[in-house]
Amino acid sequence: MGAKRKICFPITSRAYYGRSQMLIRKLHSHPDIDLKLMLGGSILLDKYSKHVADDIKAGGFEIEASLFNVIEGGNHVAMAKTACLTALEFTNNLYTSEPDVVVICGDRFEQLAIAMAAAYLNITIAHIEGGDVTGSIDESVRHAITKLAHLHFVTNDDARGRVLAMGEDPDYVFNTGSLDVELAAHVRTTITNEQVNALGVGHDIDIEQPYLMVVQHPVTTDADNRAHLETTLRVVSSFELPTIWFWPNPDAGTGEMADSLRGMRENHPELTQHMRFITNVPAADFIGLMAHAACLVGNSSAGIKECSFLGTPVVNIGNRQHGRLSAEHVTHVDYDAADIAAAIASQLAHGRYESSEIYHRDNASDTIVDLLATTPLYTQKRFHDQ
Amino acid sequence: MGAKRKICFPITSRAYYGRSQMLIRKLHSHPDIDLKLMLGGSILLDKYSKHVADDIKAGGFEIEASLFNVIEGGNHVAMAKTACLTALEFTNNLYTSEPDVVVICGDRFEQLAIAMAAAYLNITIAHIEGGDVTGSIDESVRHAITKLAHLHFVTNDDARGRVLAMGEDPDYVFNTGSLDVELAAHVRTTITNEQVNALGVGHDIDIEQPYLMVVQHPVTTDADNRAHLETTLRVVSSFELPTIWFWPNPDAGTGEMADSLRGMRENHPELTQHMRFITNVPAADFIGLMAHAACLVGNSSAGIKECSFLGTPVVNIGNRQHGRLSAEHVTHVDYDAADIAAAIASQLAHGRYESSEIYHRDNASDTIVDLLATTPLYTQKRFHDQ
Amino acid sequence: MGAKRKICFPITSRAYYGRSQMLIRKLHSHPDIDLKLMLGGSILLDKYSKHVADDIKAGGFEIEASLFNVIEGGNHVAMAKTACLTALEFTNNLYTSEPDVVVICGDRFEQLAIAMAAAYLNITIAHIEGGDVTGSIDESVRHAITKLAHLHFVTNDDARGRVLAMGEDPDYVFNTGSLDVELAAHVRTTITNEQVNALGVGHDIDIEQPYLMVVQHPVTTDADNRAHLETTLRVVSSFELPTIWFWPNPDAGTGEMADSLRGMRENHPELTQHMRFITNVPAADFIGLMAHAACLVGNSSAGIKECSFLGTPVVNIGNRQHGRLSAEHVTHVDYDAADIAAAIASQLAHGRYESSEIYHRDNASDTIVDLLATTPLYTQKRFHDQ
Amino acid sequence: MGAKRKICFPITSRAYYGRSQMLIRKLHSHPDIDLKLMLGGSILLDKYSKHVADDIKAGGFEIEASLFNVIEGGNHVAMAKTACLTALEFTNNLYTSEPDVVVICGDRFEQLAIAMAAAYLNITIAHIEGGDVTGSIDESVRHAITKLAHLHFVTNDDARGRVLAMGEDPDYVFNTGSLDVELAAHVRTTITNEQVNALGVGHDIDIEQPYLMVVQHPVTTDADNRAHLETTLRVVSSFELPTIWFWPNPDAGTGEMADSLRGMRENHPELTQHMRFITNVPAADFIGLMAHAACLVGNSSAGIKECSFLGTPVVNIGNRQHGRLSAEHVTHVDYDAADIAAAIASQLAHGRYESSEIYHRDNASDTIVDLLATTPLYTQKRFHDQ
C-alpha cells in the first residue's frame, strides 16, 4: 500500500485556475494523491478574482495557505519584488507541507519564483506547458522553469522537441496536449445577453449580433503598453460592433493600461459606446464567449490555443505570442492601426475556421494525473545531450 | 560619444570574488564602463570572508550596497529563503542603480535569484561559466541562469555546444576560457610554512614535504554530507601526510559538516594530528597551495578546472562535479573509503600531470571586458532552434 | 568645520507629505542639515499620489530611495505585511545612509515599522505628533513609537503630559504646535469651480454654494467600514448640497470602502448626483477646500486639527478620533444615520466658529528644524519616573 | 459549550523557552485553551538550542510553524532585518492560525516585531514582564511592547506602577510575579562534576569547590562588547577559581564576543585554564548551577531576578540591567577591571544572601494561565490617564 503521494498545487492567478480546474478536481479525487492547494498572487485579490478562493473552498478542497504577496506598483520593480516575496512565503509553506511534487504551471513570473524555492528545497517539480516559444518575459521564465523541473507535461510536439534540446531526460517529457484546449473542448456554455450585461461596467451589448472580444495584456518587456492599448481600442471602436473587452491581467504595465481604459471611458465615451468592460468571468463563460465571438483581438494565448480548437478567427497583435505554434485561424499583426483594422476586417469576412488538433490530445488532465501519481520521482537533474 | 555603460557586478561569495579579481579590476579601470559592485551573501560574513569587503574598498572600488541576507540554519529551507531575500534586496538596488548589464557568475543558488530579479527588471544579463555539467543543485541553477541570460561567457567548447542546444543566440555565446584558470596561470605565489601555520587552527604542518589538500563542500541535494566528510577525513588521515583542510563553503549542509569537523578535532585528535584547518585565504594563496599539493582531494571545481592547467593530481569524490569536463589529472571516485584511499595512493604514485588547455584561453578577462563594453545589448529573448 | 547633521525623512503617505512640506523645505535649506528623503508606501503609487515623487524631485530634493512595499489586499494581513516589508527595506537604506536622526511622523502603521528598524540600528529617532489620544490602531501605533523615540515634537499640552507620563525625558519633549495647523494658517488658496470639477470623477459641483466635504477613512480595528461608509453617504446625500467626497486612504479596509463607493456610483446614481469624488489634491488645495466648506463630515484628523484653527464646522463620526483633544467646532457622533443627520443640520445652522489656538504655535516648522539641528542626540533610552 | 480560547505562544529564544516551560505545559493541558506553539529565531538553530525543538515535540506539543528567520551578521543591521523577517513570517502564520491571544514574552527585539504584526492583525496581545527598567535596546523594546499589548503580566510592583503610568488599563495589569523566579523556586537540581564536564568545551572543573559563573551578553547599543568581555575574562581569570562561562546569546555583538572568546582560548590558554565554556544547558541545570555558584558575574537578568530568590551573590557589570529593580545580593559595577575585581572579592567574602521576595509570587504560571483563559478580551486600546 504505502503513503499517498503528496502533490502541492500553487495557484497564483485566475487564468491558471481556470485552465486547471479539471486537473485539480481529478487530483483531488485520486485515491493515491493527497492534494495541497496553496494560493498566492492575484488569485487572492478581490478585484481580479472575486470569489475564486470561495469557489475553491466550496469545491471541498482544503487550502493549505493563502499568501498575500502582490506588491503594488504595476511596474517592473513591483513585479520583481512580488516574485521574491512569493518565493519566500512559498518556501515556508512548502517546507512545512513537505510535498513529494510541486506542480508549476506555464510561464508567469511568480511561478518561476516558486519553482526556484521548490528546487532549493529538493522537491520534485512537475511543469505544465513548457517548451513553447512566445514573446515577453514569459519566454525567459518558461525555459528557466524547464531547467529547474523534473517532469515535463508539454502541449505539442514542437514544444517537446525544444524541451529535449534543452537537455531534459526524454523519459520525463510527455506531450499531454493542452489543458486549456481540453477544457475548451468540454465546455459548451452559451451566455445570454442578460448574463453578459450583468458583468463588469460599460454599455449593454447584444451578443446575438456578431461581436468582437478583446483580450490585450501588458507586455512586461515593452514600454508602450498604454499606446498599444489605445491603438487597439480606437481600431476596434471603428467597427461599431458589440465588443467585450477584458481587463488586462495584473502584471507590470497593468497600471497604465487600466488607467488608460478608465480615461478612455471617462473622456472618450464615443469610442466605448459599444463596449462592455469585464474583469473576470468563470473559465467556462470565458470559453463560451470566445467560442461565439466573430473575432478575438489582442495578445492572449487563448487566441492561439483554445481558438485553434474552437475555430474562432483571431487577430494577434504584437510580440507577446511571438513564435508560439499557431494554426491558420490566427492573423499576426504588429502594433499598427491600419494593419489591425485590415486583419479584423479580413477575419470577419472569412468567418469561423476548421478545428485544429495541434494543441489537442484526448484526456490531457487524466494523462497528467496518472503520470503525477505513478512516475518515479527524482531530484538530481542531469543534462541529457541529444 | 555617449554615456558609459553601467555594469553591475554582484559578489555573493568569497570563491567568486577570488576568481573574478582580474575581471573586476579591468572593468573598474575600463574607460567606457561604470562598474557597480554590490555585496551580499556570505561575502559579508566575517567568519567566511574576513576583510574581503575591506579589501574591495582598499582597491578603490565603490561598493554600491552591502546586503546582509544569509539566513541561518545551514539547511535547505535557510538556503531557499536566503535566495529569496537576496533577490528581494538586489531588486531594490538594481532598480535604484539602473545598470545596463548585470554580471551573473557561475551556479550558486543566490546568483539565480539575482538573475531572476534582473530579468524581471528588464536588465540585460551576462552569465559567466554557463553550459557546464555538474552534480548537485548547481546543475539546475546553472542552466536556469542560462535561460534568463542574454550574453554567455562559457569556459570550454562542450559548454558552448550545450548553451546553443538550449536555444541561445549563437551571436551571444562566447568561449572565453575560464577566469579561474586564467588566474591560476598568472599567479606564482609560493607559501612558506610560517605563512600557512599562521592561518586557521590545528597542527603546524610542513608543506615542504609532500602534502595533501582537501576541499570538500556540502552537496545540497545529498543527505549524507556528514558521513561523507568523515569518510574522507579518516582516509586522508591514514596517509599521515601534512594536510591542509579547507572549511566547507556556506551552503545547506555546511552546518553539519562544520559540526562534524569540530567534533573530529575535539574527540579524535589522533585523526587530525597532521592536519591544519583553514577557512579562508586570498585566492592567490589558495592557488599557490593547490599548485604545490601532492594531491587535491574533495569535490571542488578547482580540482577539475584550475588543476587541469596546474597539473596537480586530483581525487574527485562523489557527484558534485559529476559530468563536468575533466582532463586526465582527475580520478573520479564514489563516497567509498577503499576507493578514495586507492585513488589517492595512485595519484601520489603518479605525481604531477602535463598542463591541459581545455579550460584555458589567453586573456579570458580582457575578452570578457571587451565584450561587456561593446556587444550590442538586448533584453527580449527568443529561442534559437539549432 | 564639523560635519552636517544627517537627517533622514521617510515619506510613506500623501497625507504626511502634505503636512510636512514646509518642514521638509526648511530642513533641505538649513546649512547644518543634510536631508535624506526616502519614499515608500502609498506615496509611490500613482493612484493615490500621482506625481508626488515628481514634485519632490522638482523641488530640488534628492530622493535617496524609492521603495515599493505596499502589499495588495486592503485587509489586515496585507497591512501587517506591508509594515514588515517596509521595515526590512528601510533597514537596508538606513544602514547604507547612516543618518544621525530619523524623523517619524504621526501614527501610521508603517511609521512604527520604520521606527523599530531605526531603533535596532541604534539611530536617534525624532517623533512628530506623539502623545495624542485617538481611536483605531493608530492609538497603539502612536504610543509605541513614543517609546522607541528620543526626541518628541508634540502638538499640544495634553499630549506633552502623556508623553511625560509614559516615561520620556522632559528635556526632550517639546510642544511645537501642529505642522498641519501651521500649514493651514499659511495657506490662503481659493479654489474655483473649474479647478474642482477638473479633479476626480462624478458630477460637476458648484462650490460657490455652501458645500459639504467628506473625508472618511477606514478604521482598521473595525469590521464594518463598508456599512459605515454607506450610512454616511446616504445621510450626506439627503442634504442635496454640492459635496466633495475624498477617497479613503490606503489602509486595511480601504478595499471594501472603495468598492462600496464604486458600487454606489454605479448602482445608486440618485444618491451621488451632487457629489464629486476626488482621490488626491495638493495639500494647499485640500486646505483651501476645507477652509470654505460649510461642514466637514467624516473621521479625518484634519477635522479636529486644521479645522480648529480654520473654524470650519465638523461632524466627526465614530471612534477613529476618539479621545483626541478637540475644540468646540467639532460635534462627535456615532455611526448612526439620525445622529449624523442632526449633527450636520446643526452645524450648517451654526456656521463658522472662532479660530482656536489649541493646536497652534507660531513657527512650528522653524522650531522643529532648529531642535533637529541643535539638540544633543542620544540613543540609550531610560524610563523617567515622574 | 463554547469554543476553546486559541492561544499562540511564539518561542524565539532558548532563554524564553527555559523560563516559560511551566507556563507552556499548563497552557497545553488546560481544558479551555488550545495552545499553538510557533518557533522562530535562535530557538531553531542547532548551535544555540540543540534539541529544543525536539524536546518540545517530545512533550506532546504540536508545533504550528518553524520559521527560520535569523539573518547572519551578528550586527545591528542583521538584528533589525531578523526582526522584520520574523514579523513578516509570523504575520502569515498568525493570519492562518487566527489565535484569540498572542503571548509576547519579555523584551527581545524579535518579540516586538511579532507584537507589531499581531496588533496589525487585530489580535489581543498578552505581555509577560513589562514595566521593568533596564539598559540596552531592551529598554525601548519592552515599553513599546507594553503600548501594543492588552493584557500585562508584570513581575513586581514597581513595574506595575510604570505600566499604569504609561496609560494602560488598570483592570488588565496584573502583578503575577516572575516565571523565572517561580521556576528557580521549584527546581532543586544538583549538577555533578561529571555532568558539567560533559558539557561544552574547555577544561575540566571541580564544582564541589567554590566556583564562579559568568553570563555576559552583548549590549546592542554598545560598541565595545569585545573589550568589555575581555576585561571580565581577565579579572575572572585572576581569581583562579573553577569557572563556568556561558556563551553569549545570539544578538548584535555576539559575533565579536564569540570571536573574542575563541581567540582567548586559542591564544591565551593561561587565562582560561580554570574555565569551562558552555553554550547551552536545560533551564533546570542552569538554575542548579546558579544556585550553587559562589558568585555570578556578568549582565544577565538571571543575576537580578532568579538570584534574588536563590540568594546567590552577583556582580552585575555595565548598563544592560541598568535600572532594573534589584535586591541587596547584587553589586553593580562599571566596565572597570579594578571595580569588577573588588566586587567579586567582596561578594566571595560575603557569601550567600537571604532570599528576597521582590520578584516572587506563589503560582505565577497558574495565575497567568487562569487569566489567559478567563479575562475578557479586547483589541481597541485607549490611553488611561492616571
First to last CA, chain A: 38
Q: Is A344 exposed, middle or buried (0-12, 13-18, 19+ CB in 10 A)?
A: buried
D326-338 mean pLDDT? 96
- The reported pLDDT for the residue numbered A50 is 59
Is 80 exceeded by the pLDDT of residue C143? yes
CB contact under 8 A, D85 and B69: no
For residue C15, give the amino acid letter: A
B198 touches chain D (CB under 8 A): no
A102 Cα to chain D: minimum distance (Å): 20
D52 touches chain A (CB under 8 A): no
Among the residue ranges A258-272, C24-38, C82-96, C302-316, the one predicted with the least confidence is A258-272
Chain B residue with CA closest to A141: the answer is B148
- The reported pLDDT for the residue numbered B58 is 80
Chains with 3 or more CB pairs closer than 8 angstroms to A? B, C, D
- The reported pLDDT for the residue numbered C356 is 96
C86-90 mean pLDDT? 96
Residue scoring higher pLDDT (C70 or A219): C70
Per-residue pLDDT band at D135 (split at 50, 70, 90): confident
Q: What is the three-class DSSP state of B45?
A: coil
Rounded Cα–Cα distance for residues C80 and C69 (Å): 11
Q: What is the three-class DSSP state of B71?
A: strand
Chain C residue with CA closest to B93: the answer is C65
For B154, the grid coordinates are 562559457
Q: Which residues make beta-bridge pairs with A39?
A: A11, A66
A85 touches chain B (CB under 8 A): yes
- The reported pLDDT for the residue numbered B327 is 95
Task: List b or e across B108-140, with b for residues whose CB sees 16 or more CB atoms inside 10 angstroms.
Answer: bbbbbbbbbbbbbbbbbbbbbbbbbbbbbbbbb
Q: Is C62 exposed, middle or buried (0-12, 13-18, 19+ CB in 10 A)?
A: exposed
Q: Which residues of A touch B386 (CB under 8 A)?
A: 165
Rounded Cα–Cα distance for residues C38 and C40 (Å): 7
Task: List b or e across B6-29, with b for residues whose CB sees 16 or more CB atoms inside 10 angstroms.
Answer: bbbbbbbbbbbbbbbbbbbbbbbe
Task: Label each residue of B336-358 as H, E or C.
Answer: CHHHHHHHHHHHHHHCCCCCCCC
Is 80 exceeded by the pLDDT of residue C280? no
- The reported pLDDT for the residue numbered B36 is 93
CB contact under 8 A, D259 and B68: no
For B331, the grid coordinates are 580520478
Is 90 exceeded by the pLDDT of residue B116? yes
- The reported pLDDT for the residue numbered A280 is 77
DSSP assignments along C200-224, one per residue: SEE----TTS--EEEE----TT-S-
Residue scoring higher pLDDT (D307 or B52): D307
D164 touches chain C (CB under 8 A): no
- Beta carbons of C306 and C198 less than 8 angstroms apart: no
A interface mutation test: which of D36, D96, D120 has the most A CBs within 10 A? D96
Angle of helix C76-97 versus helix D109-120 axis, rounded to 10: 140
- When the pLDDT of each residue in chain C is averaged and rounded to a whole number, the result is 92
B204 touches chain D (CB under 8 A): no
D153-163 mean pLDDT? 97
Q: Which helix (H) or strand (E) holds D103?
A: strand D101-105
Q: Which residues of A touch C39 (CB under 8 A)?
A: none
pTM comes to: 0.91
Is 90 exceeded by the pLDDT of residue D205? yes
- The reported pLDDT for the residue numbered B43 is 86
- The reported pLDDT for the residue numbered A1 is 44
Q: Which residues of C touch A46 (CB under 8 A)?
A: 74, 255, 259
> Angle CA(C92)–CA(C96)–CA(C101) in degrees, nearest 5?
95
Which residue in B372, B330, B364 sits closest to B129, CA to CA? Answer: B364
Write the pLDDT tens digit of every residue in C179-236. 999 999 988 878 899 999 998 888 999 999 999 999 999 887 777 888 999 999 999 9
Q: Which of B52-61, B253-262, C14-23, D7-16 has the highest mean pLDDT?
A: D7-16
- The reported pLDDT for the residue numbered A46 is 62
Q: Is D362 exposed, middle or buried (0-12, 13-18, 19+ CB in 10 A)?
A: exposed
D80 Cα to chain B: minimum distance (Å): 11
D61-72 mean pLDDT? 90
pLDDT average per 10 residues of sequence, chain A (386 residues):
86 84 92 94 72 74 90 91 96 96 96 98 97 93 98 97 98 96 88 91 93 92 84 96 90 79 86 90 89 96 95 95 93 96 97 96 96 96 92
Measured over the CA atoms of residue B263, residue B269, residue B274 and residue B279, the dihedral's sign is positive
Write the pLDDT tens digit of every residue in D350-385. 999 999 999 999 999 999 999 999 999 999 999 999
Predicted complex ipTM? 0.91
For C382, the grid coordinates are 531610560
Percentage helix, strand, coil, to 5, in chain A?
Answer: 45, 15, 40
For A52, the grid coordinates are 475564486
Chain D residue with CA closest to C111: the answer is D116
CB contact under 8 A, A165 and B165: yes
CB contact under 8 A, D87 and C84: yes
D80 touches chain B (CB under 8 A): no
Q: What is the three-class DSSP state of B104?
A: strand
C45 touches chain A (CB under 8 A): yes
- When the pLDDT of each residue in chain D is averaged and rounded to a whole number, the result is 92
- The reported pLDDT for the residue numbered B1 is 44
D202-215 mean pLDDT? 95
Q: Which residues of C touch D319 (CB under 8 A)?
A: 380
Chain B residue with CA closest to D74: the answer is B45
Is 90 exceeded by the pLDDT of residue B262? no
Is 60 exceeded by the pLDDT of residue B340? yes
Is 70 exceeded by the pLDDT of residue D49? no
A385 touches chain B (CB under 8 A): yes
Is 50 exceeded by the pLDDT of residue C87? yes
| C-alpha to C-alpha distances, A224 to A255, A257, D95, nearest whole angstrom | 12, 10, 39
- The reported pLDDT for the residue numbered A249 is 77
CB contact under 8 A, D140 and C87: no
D68 touches chain B (CB under 8 A): yes
Is 70 exceeded by the pLDDT of residue B138? yes
A171 Cα to chain B: minimum distance (Å): 18
- The reported pLDDT for the residue numbered D47 is 60
B67 touches chain C (CB under 8 A): yes
Chains with 3 or more CB pairs closer than 8 angstroms to C? A, B, D
Measured over the CA atoms of residue C287, residue C292, residue C293 and residue C294, the dihedral's sign is positive
B130-151 mean pLDDT? 96
